[in-house]
């Protein structure tokens, strides 16, 4: 199970100010996992969403002196942005607190999707966000290695592709978004080629693919439809390669294990106003996705863990829910001068929770392997 807070992020929820942490909600999540005898994956920052006290959000560029990090991890970390220091302080504290309760860490649900709604290449915002995220990634990786040397570290990669709305044929590869956005294998290998820093390659060892889905829209964002070919997408990515200045880099030479999290969209979701998924649809999709992943594993793809993303919360699909989804995780409310929705108190739109048929399906499948 992935411990994460979908509207904002663990980092946002827990770090209330510099070195000020509210651990209650995280402790409660760990206690629940232990009761179910589940080892959780601790996710640090849903879509790279910093706490609201960090001025400028993901685009923060205020530099502070951080000699302690420099002495521990190298001269590149002697000065950090406030955002980078915030993330490093949080990761240090949370790993020290939780290292005896889990050995699995992921930087984010969809680490490669942080900037998509915020900015585009060539803008100052994009440059600031990417520099912050790269430095945070490398620094956090070294922090975890120091404090929990036996931990497995990864980052969630959103996997999406485009399909023709009339003929249904794929327009882009099944793993399209993984390559199009930063932090996919091609990006990490290019960073290594440019810097010589092997941390970029080591981070690929445990690769976390966060479901497969597709869109038929020209903007390549919404709506998002579920696709049960998660195993096919993982296999295609594993066997892909990139050519850099005449040298071929095969992803399979660096990816040693793959965690796959197939999505099962709930019946009422803000990104899917065009289609509602029934309980039966959700359960069947999960079952089909897992079967497809297991077939890929039989063909030699190093899948070591399958996680279930059940989306048990059915959200109101009105424009208000959509605003909440967009503006809180991405920090866009700051750019657009909107009020943080979390500070308005409880929301008024319909949200329901309950035991899903897909949860029972997943439990039945898991019981076969115990």
pTM as predicted? 0.87
Each residue of 304-360: pLDDT tens digit? 999 877 665 555 544 444 444 444 444 444 444 444 444 444 444 455 556 678 878
- Residue 177: name the closest of 115, 122, 123, 119 by CA: 115
Phi-psi region for residue 42, left (φ > 0), alpha (ψ -120 to 50) or beta?
A: beta
The C-alpha angle 93, 96, 100, rounded to 5 degrees, equals 145
Q: Which CATH class is domain 1-154?
A: alpha beta
- In the chain, CATH 3.20.20.80 covers 1-154
List the structure tokens of 216. Answer: 């038929």
* Other CB atoms within 10 A of residue 3 CB: 21
Note whether 112 and 181 are within 8 A (CB): yes
Collect contacts of 181-184 with beta carbons under 8 A, ≥24 apart. 181/112, 181/113, 181/115, 181/116, 182/112, 182/115, 182/130, 182/133, 182/134, 183/111, 183/112, 183/133, 183/137, 183/155, 183/157, 184/112, 184/157
Enumerate residue ranges in the chain where pLDDT < 70.
5-8, 115-119, 219-221, 266-275, 310-355, 370
168 vs 172: CA distance, rounded Å: 12
Would you say 217 and 274 are in contact if contact means Cβ atoms under 8 Å apart?
A: no
Query: pLDDT tens for residues 263-316?
Result: 877 666 666 666 677 788 888 888 999 999 999 999 999 999 998 776 655 555
Q: In this structure, what token pair is assigned to residue 362?
A: 């997943």
């Amino acid at each position: 199970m992935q411990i994460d807070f979908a509207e904002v992020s663990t980092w946002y929820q827990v770090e209330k100010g510099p070195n000020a942490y509210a651990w209650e909600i995280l402790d409660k999540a760990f206690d629940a996992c232990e009761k179910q005898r589940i080892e959780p994956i601790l996710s640090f920052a849903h879509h790279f969403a910093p706490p609201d006290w960090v001025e400028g959000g993901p685009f923060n560029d205020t530099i502070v002196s951080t000699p302690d990090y420099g002495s521990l991890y190298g001269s590149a970390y002697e000065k950090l942005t406030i955002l980078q220091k915030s993330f490093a302080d949080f990761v240090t504290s949370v790993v020290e607190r939780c290292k005896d309760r889990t050995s699995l860490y992921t930087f984010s649900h969809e680490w490669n999707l942080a900037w998509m709604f915020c900015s585009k290449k060539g803008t100052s915002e994009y440059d600031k966000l990417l520099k912050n995220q790269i430095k945070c990634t490398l620094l956090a990786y070294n922090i975890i290695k120091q404090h929990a040397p036996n931990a497995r570290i990864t980052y969630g990669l959103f996997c999406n592709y485009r399909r023709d709305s009339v003929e249904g044929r794929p327009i882009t590869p099944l793993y399209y978004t993984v390559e199009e956005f930063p932090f996919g294998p091609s990006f990490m290998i290019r960073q290594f080629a440019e810097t010589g820093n092997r941390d970029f390659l080591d981070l690929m060892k445990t690769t976390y693919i966060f479901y497969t889905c597709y869109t038929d829209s020209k903007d390549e964002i919404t709506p998002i439809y579920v696709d049960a070919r998660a195993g096919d997408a993982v296999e295609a990515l594993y066997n892909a390669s990139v050519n850099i200045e005449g040298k071929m880099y095969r992803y399979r030479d660096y990816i040693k294990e793959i965690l796959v999290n197939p999505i099962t969209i709930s019946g009422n979701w803000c990104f899917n106003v065009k289609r509602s998924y029934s309980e039966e649809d959700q359960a069947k999709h999960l079952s089909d996705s897992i079967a497809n992943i297991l077939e890929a594993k039989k063909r030699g793809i190093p899948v070591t863990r399958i996680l279930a993303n059940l989306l048990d919360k059915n959200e109101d699909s009105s424009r208000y829910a959509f605003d909440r989804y967009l503006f809180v995780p991405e920090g866009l409310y700051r750019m657009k001068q909107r009020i943080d929705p979390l500070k308005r108190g409880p929301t008024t739109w319909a949200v329901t929770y309950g035991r899903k048929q897909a949860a029972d399906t997943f439990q039945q499948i898991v019981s076969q392997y115990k």
